[in-house]
Structure 1
Amino acid sequence: MTDLTMLRPEADDGAIPFARSFVKSEAFMQLFREGMGLVEATASYLDGEGRAESAALQREVSLTYATESMRLTTRLMQIASWLLVQRAVAEGEMSAEQARSEHNKVRIAEPMLQPSSAEAARLPQRLRDLVAHSIRLQERIRNLDQQMSGAVRPAPANPVRGQIESLQARLGLLR
């Protein structure tokens, strides 16, 4: 069994197996290229231009830079691991059982608490751009993972309130 129904054991219940078709689609390959490209771009930045930019930062800002670069690296490693497992199953390089085992090890984490907008504004623009891109990609992959595994995400009691709180948090109005 080399398809991705392993992420949704009850896939034989008559539903269209989303995972099986998605990971073999061009949309998945675009997502894969985007994710791996972001990993590459981030590594290049952190080893080059980012190193020079971080050395020029004030002490308190350099701590925020170090924290955010570690969070970014962790987030990207989770994303890359998830993408590689999905591609391996789609290409028949990994069995469904192996993928199930890896799926239990490789989880796309909840988004981490971000620095306040005042702290973030002091970080180099390129790092902020990479962080923002990685967060958007992480959320897309979390949504896909939930769809593929059949997990249902509970809706907030008041979706408008959730959006307002999200905006306030991003603007640094909630602490």
Structure 2
Amino acid sequence: MSDFPTLRLAVEDGAISFARTFVKSEAFMQLFREGMGLVELTANYLDGEGRSESAALPREVSLVYATESMRLTTRLMQIASWLLVQRAVAEGEMTAEQARAEKNKVRIAEPMLQPTSAEAARLPLRLRELIAHSIRLQERIGHLENQMSEAFAPVAAVNPVRGQLANLQARLGALA
């Protein structure tokens, strides 16, 4: 089952606007709350329990901890920025066109793979859980971003199917 319910799509100038409909949906608000909640959980963990857990790690693992916590923080800041821009569109503070212009500034990077080294396996469980959750969320948002970008892709003036149909009709007409 998909993470997102089926949405009614708005039709504007003959084109379907998935983006406009989605950012105003309850599914988006759930995604927004999940993303911002994960940012808060991670900040609380890194400033509290994570700090004491990292201090107890062997030197080689503490280096991996530092690297992975920085990657996690970067990933979450990208996610939060994207979510905030989309919410601004939903609330009318920014147009969809302005949001697309901001896209280069608020890019959801390709998902970074989870650490697989022996040291990474020795990272605290809570950090590994936060990393995994952030990667799943990043993948979902990346999928949404792709769908939203496709919704705004320029429609070709020439219909390639029409050309194929004309070619087929010409060939069939030649056989008759």
- Give TM-score, length-normalised by structure 2: 0.76
Alpha-carbon displacement from aligned partner over 1:48-99 (angstroms, at most 9, x marks no partner): 0000000000000000000000000000000000000000011011133421
Partner of 1:111: helix, strand, or coil? coil
| Greater alpha carbon shift after TM alignment, 93-102 vs 126-135 | 93-102
Provide the residue aligned with 2:94 in structure 1.
94
Distance 1:142 1:107 in 2: 9
Conservation of the 8 A alpha-carbon contact between 2:60 and 2:119: no
Q: Which has the larger radius of gyration?
A: 2
Counterpart position of 2:121: 121
Indicate whether 1:75 and 2:98 are aligned.
no
Q: Structure 1 runs of 4+ off > 2 angstroms?
A: 11-15, 95-98, 117-120
* 1:101 maps to amino acid: A
Per-residue CA deviation, residues 111-142 of structure 1 (Å, 9 max, x unaligned), is: 12432152322000000000000000000000
Q: Which has the higher contact order (CA 8 A, sep 6+)?
A: 1
**How many matched pairs?**
141
Q: What residue number does 1:137 align with?
A: 137
The 2-side partners of 1:75 and 1:13 are apart by: 36
**Identity among equivalent pairs (%):** 85
Structure 2: state its 5+ residue gaps. 1-10, 152-176
Q: Distance in 2 between matches of 1:46 and 1:67?
A: 13
Cα RMSD of the aligned pairs, angstroms, is 1.6
Query: Quick one: distance in 1 between partners of 2:36 and 2:99?
Result: 19
Aligned to 1:57: 57
- Per-residue CA deviations over 1:19-48 (Å, capped at 9, x if unaligned) read 011000000000000000000000000000
Alpha-carbon distance in 2 for matches of 1:135, 1:25: 23
Could you tell me which runs of 5 or more consecutive residues in structure 1 were left unpaired when the two chains were aligned.
Answer: 1-10, 152-175
Q: How far is 1:13 from its partner?
A: 6.6
Q: TM-score, normalised by structure 1?
A: 0.76
Q: Report SS of the residue matched to 1:16.
A: strand
Match of 1:20 in 2: 20
Separation in 1 of the partners of 2:103 and 2:145?
10
